[in-house]
Structure 1
Amino acid sequence: MNKFWERFFYLLTYISQGSSYLSPRAYAILHRMHHAFSDTERDPHSPHHTKNVFTMMWETKDIYNAVLNRKRAVETQFDRNYPEWRLIEKLGDSWVSRLGWGILYAVFYVLAYVYLDMHWVFFLLLPIHFLMGPIHGAIVNWSGHKYGYQNFDNNDKSKNSLIVDFLMMGELFQNNHHKRPNSLNFGSQWFEFDPTYPVIKLLSKLKIIEVRKKE
């Protein structure tokens, strides 16, 4: 995409992730490491080398922070070709921003409770809003490498956890994705539907993104 759309989606990433903002640069590097070392001891987030999902995500957090703050050496093949906007990265990773978004979420819920007669049980969703990024990562990386079926032998333990994956927008087709990491469509079988794929096709038709490699 051109620079305008890159900055537009970078800012949209910060706004939509809010209190659980993740740096696109650091995320891209960890994702590439995960594919290169899938389910080995060098994998930054494999469920097969940690005791439980909490220790997996805690170790992932430590690696992420080291990469984010440039305190860990990164192989050249991983550290390239990613968007970067250091102002947004610094803002998104600050505790002022994270606490600010958290307060906004809480205020929204209180207003909905007072003026829209929202049931009190919805307040239990607040922790999910506060930690949306880590929770999403936990579901994809834990479930996607432990539960489900395999279409391909990728020499790892990646699985397809759902047949129709609206829950994680196609990311729980991990076995397919590890087989064809450059494919726009995470679905492989006729019955597997990746809801993100038509969105990518639409953005391509609108000339917002350019698909350089088709598979």
Structure 2
Amino acid sequence: MAVIIFIIVLWYSGLFFQTFFLHRYAAHQTFKMSKFGEKLCYVLTWVTQGSNYLSAYGYGVMHRLHHAYADTEKDPHSPKYDANLFAMMWRTKKIYQQINDQKAKIEEKFTKNVPQWRGFDRFASSWGSRIGWAVLYTVFFYFFATAWWQWLLLPVAYMMAPIHGVIINWFGHIYGYVNFKVSDTSKNLLRFDWLMMGEAYHNNHHKHGGRANFGGVRWHEIDVTYCIMILLDKMKLIKLNPVAVVKREI
């Protein structure tokens, strides 16, 4: 039971900082927060993503490229241009690494105001950090796994952030329903997004990229992350941009 709880906590905590900090803040800047809050989010992203930590700069720039070139040859991840999801994941990894290492030529419009903490990113992205977290996960399983099949979840812990990404960037462009006609294949993967905390409303997001609320179009589209963001806004820990509110359109 402890292993199941551990995986659930890792899944949702890591996913929250990916969608809240990396996606809605770094890439789209749908809200503002203090420099202290930004630095705290870096640390909490590292704590919750652990061995598969993603930098706000690398993720933010790459995601802007995805929106600009969705489902074209310049898209960092598209089912249209990759033979399978593993090929897409590998290509995404290489592009992310080139951006994060400042080795890719990127237009200024894609990097403008994307947060960057180079020193911390070097530490959190280092092999020492990644292997250290992997060892901690393995030790936890050693002490708390009570059945052989629970060990099958250990690779999920190692690779959770890429798994989050492939669910949306692969399956979210193949399966689901469409609220809006857009120039790409983005779809709303789940009607009730209990799994991805609002990220599964991918078609809505591609239509209104600047909005903090990915749901809210149909009655069942409840964006859990956005609900948390409303609370944080009321507590004055963040300040939502005016375009954050989505009126029901269907």
> TM above 0.5, one fold?
yes
Q: Is the 8 A contact 1:14 1:88 kept in 2?
A: no
Percent identical pairs in the alignment equals 48
Q: Does 1:202 align with 2:231?
A: yes
2:153 is equivalent to residue 125 of structure 1: yes
List aligned pairs for 1:8-157, cutoff 5 A.
Answer: 8-113=40-145, 118-157=146-185
Tell me if structure 2 keeps the 8 A contact 1:163–1:193: no
CA distance in 1, matches of 2:55, 2:138: 24
Equivalence for 1:167 = 195
Residue 212 in 1 paired to residue 241 in 2? Answer: yes
How far apart are 1:133 and its partner, in Å? 1.1
TM-score under structure 2 normalisation?
A: 0.82
Note the aligned Cα RMSD (angstroms): 1.0
Aligned to 1:186: 214
Residue type at the aligned position of 2:64 = R
In 1, Cα distance between the equivalents of 2:120 and 2:204? Answer: 33
| Superposed CA offset, 1:140-198 (max 9, x none) | 10011111111111111000110011211111111000001111211121121211111
Residue 120 of structure 1 and its aligned partner are, at CA, apart by 2.9
After the TM superposition, which segments of 4 or more aligned residues of structure 1 sit over 3 Å from their partners?
A: none
- CA positional deviation for 1:213: 2.9
Hey, what's the Cα distance between the residues in 1 that align with 2:125 and 2:64? 21
Unaligned runs of 5+ in 1: none
Displacement after TM superposition at 1:212 (Å): 2.5
* Count of residue pairs brought into register by the alignment: 211
| Relative contact order higher in (CA < 8 Å, ≥ 6 apart) | 2
TM-score (norm 1): 0.95
The answer for unaligned runs of 5 or more in structure 2 is 1-32, 246-250
In the alignment, residue 161 of structure 2 is paired with which amino acid?
Answer: G
Higher helix content, 1 or 2? 2
1:82 and 1:202 map into 2 onto residues whose CA distance is 24
Q: State whether residues 38 and 156 of structure 1, in contact with CA within 8 Å, keep that contact through their aligned partners in structure 2.
A: yes
Residue 174 of structure 1 aligns with an amino acid whose one-letter code is H
